[in-house]
Amino acid sequence: MLEAEKELLISQQSSNLWTRRRRELAAWIERPKPITAGKALCDFNGVSVDAAIYPALMALQEASIPTEFSCAGVSILDEADDHSLYAYVTMLDGPVTECFMQYAMERMGNRLLVTYEPGRGRYDVSSFYIGHNRSFCYLLAAVARNFKQTSYYK
């Protein structure tokens, strides 16, 4: 693995939770995935994004946290138009982002999976629990909206 591709795990889930996540992933892979509705999209700064993650992206932007990529649900093959596995947002590193990471990990607890790529200067945040995409998007939006009113925001 190239140094620029190295990811550091920042969040602190227990080994029991990782075991649970592996079981959830295995069950998700085997479960039928009927399509109930097409993916809803919104325009965010000239880019089409999942409507479910849009409020979180807007709140992050208002808190001066730059984002790079996002998806309210990706598939096992990382196909955004396929069935939802987990939701994620990539945030560019900076002083405000670092403060937000601390606040978000405190507020979201084990629901938040955080990795950091030092070579690229970015954080990837995603739902730790498989298939909890909608609630993750709602919670991330709420945490981002509340962030500016906290002592974490500098």
The predicted-structure confidence for 16-52, as pLDDT tens digits, reads as follows 999 999 999 899 888 887 777 777 888 999 988 888 8
Please state the pTM of the whole predicted model.
Answer: 0.86
H helix intervals, the chain: 15-30, 54-62, 95-108, 133-147
Q: How many Cβ atoms are within 10 Å of 114's Cβ, its own excluded?
A: 21
Domains within the chain, CATH numbers bracketed: 3-27+41-147 (3.90.1150)
The per-residue pLDDT for range 45-86, each reduced to its tens digit, is: 998 888 888 999 999 999 999 998 777 655 444 444 454 566
